[in-house]
Amino acid sequence: MQDRCTRDKPELVWRGRSPIPSSRKVAEERPIALTYNGSTYAVMMASPVDLMDFGVGFSLSEGIVEHGGDIISIEVVELELGCEVRIWLDDSYADLLANRRRAMVGPVGCGMCGIESLEQACPRPTRVVSEGGFRPFDLLEAMRSLRPLQHHNQATGAMHAAAFWDGHDIRLVREDVGRHNALDKLAGAAARAGLETSRGAVLITSRVSVELVQKTARMGVPLLIAVSAPTSLAIETAERAGVTLVGVARDDGYEIFSHAGRLIFGEEDLESAALAGSELLSARP
């Protein structure tokens, strides 16, 4: 079966000597049109896989629908220049769609193309309500377990991943050339699978901008963990949304930017930290 997310392309490799003809897998990137009731709402540049998830997740993240079940039908149509994700809603959504419709081409690094006002860019975030907490070392294990599941990025070195961790295991992973798209696909996959999200975490392999916090809050997920650092507005939004924001996640730890009370630091964790530190010191030459 052909991998629709990657493609082999010829290249020249130069490593200080004569260039050598070679080839490598590169990430596919195509325009994806999202239409509602027959009219285009957005055109995004994305990886042409998991597009049913993308359609559902985009609808939820944009606040077009409140629940995945509000979508009557959805289909993916492949065209010569890209793909259309055709979404059909009840006629009661006609006025909402008419007021919010925007035809746009969004580059993969942009999550707010077409926004027309400051109020639209910074809406009041969804407030996350959850019970229970997380053990600090479990977060490290969650991020470590994500790496071998990034199959497309391992092949191309050019894909972002978003995953849902239920507190014990990674349940879903979605990859895309765009970090916003990857999280939308994850949101759609979680909704379609009917996963309980109020006790888990979203794991992402990118920096944290405000849109990613907003999307996580809409999913009802109380914890967002990223390999890179957040922006100032992302931190402020996480504070308002009740999202525990963890960034700069590395093998030796991470940084907590909001709602640190969800992390349970106990004596057992301190003992584990001391043991891990001793192992690191003994491993040094």
* Range name among 86-95, 180-189, 232-241, 268-277 with the lowest pLDDT average: 268-277
Amino acid occupying residue 165:
W
Residue finishing a domain among 66, 88, 120: 120
Q: Catalytic one among 5, 83, 110, 113?
A: 110
Give the span between the Cα atoms of 2 and 4, in whole angstroms: 6
Average pLDDT score, the chain? 88
Q: What is the CATH number of the domain that holds 101?
A: 3.10.20.10
Residue 32: closest CA among 88, 73, 87: 87
Asked if residue 116 lies in contact with residue 65, where contact means CB atoms within 8 angstroms, the answer is no
Which residues does 279 contact at the CB level (< 8 Å), separation at least 6?
none
Q: Are residues 114 and 142 in the same domain?
A: no
What confidence tier does 283 reach under pLDDT thresholds 50, 70, 90? low
Q: Is residue 77 domain-shared with residue 140, that is, in the same domain?
A: no
The sheet with strand 223-226 has its strands ordered as 170-176, 160-165, 201-204, 223-226, 244-250, 253-258
Q: How many residues does the chain have?
A: 285
Q: Give, as one character, the DSSP assignment of residue 70.
A: G
- pTM score, whole prediction: 0.86
72 confidence band (pLDDT: 50, 70, 90): very high
122 is catalytic: no
How far, in Å, CA of 238 to CA of 75, rounded?
34
**Average pLDDT for 204-222:** 96
Residue 2 falls inside a structural domain? no
How many folded domains does the chain comprise?
A: 2
Domain membership flag for residue 171: yes
- Establish if 4 belongs to a structural domain: no
Enclosing domain of residue 218: 136-270
Q: What are the tokens at 222?
A: 């109380």
Query: What is the model's pLDDT at position 278?
Result: 55
Of the listed ranges 14-23, 48-57, 106-115, 261-270, the least confidently predicted one is 106-115
Verify that 104 and 67 share a domain, yes or no.
Answer: yes
> Which residue type, as a one-letter code, is found at position 115?
I
Same domain, residue pair 162 and 265: yes
Q: Is residue 170 part of a domain?
A: yes
